[in-house]
Amino acid sequence: MGPILGFIIALVVAAVVILIVSKLNLGLHVNGFVAAIIAALVISIVGSVVAWLLGLLGITLGGGLIAAIIMLIIAAVVLMISDKFVPGMEVKGFKGAIIAAIGIGVVYWVLGLIAGIFA
């Protein structure tokens, strides 16, 4: 599988995850699949920029509970920033962003378990 196909598959999976979280009313709402694809793309770009800026500042996170909490806060901030750039996507405040970030993580985890069963 080439890198472009891998990118497209990852983008579609991310869009499906965003749609699932949106349907569960976990603080994030998107208006359909096209908005979810755009949201997935913007979230990945904003997340990459945030990670680059943290690296530029010399901030690295190890493992453990504190790192997980910090990554959750960063994910919520990324969702809130992405909300400003994506028409058809709405994040309901910081609390909604935290809940949506947890929901996205759980859905990815479940999909990973399911994919592991069939692999």
Q: Tell me, what amino acid is at 116? A: G
pLDDT value at position 119?
Answer: 54
How confident is the prediction for the chain on average, in pLDDT?
A: 85
In the prediction, which pLDDT does 118 show?
Answer: 64
User: Tell me, what's the pLDDT at 29?
Assistant: 93
User: What span, in angstroms and rounded, lies between the C-alpha atoms of 2 and 15?
Assistant: 20
Per the structure block, which two tokens stand in for 43? 């979230």
Alpha helices, DSSP H, located in 25-64 = 33-56
pTM metric for this prediction:
0.79
Q: What are the residue ranges in the chain where pLDDT is below 70?
A: 1, 118-119
pLDDT at 32: 92
Distance from C-alpha of 8 to C-alpha of 54, rounded to nearest angstrom? 27
For 94-119, what is each residue's pLDDT tens digit?
999 999 888 888 888 888 888 777 65
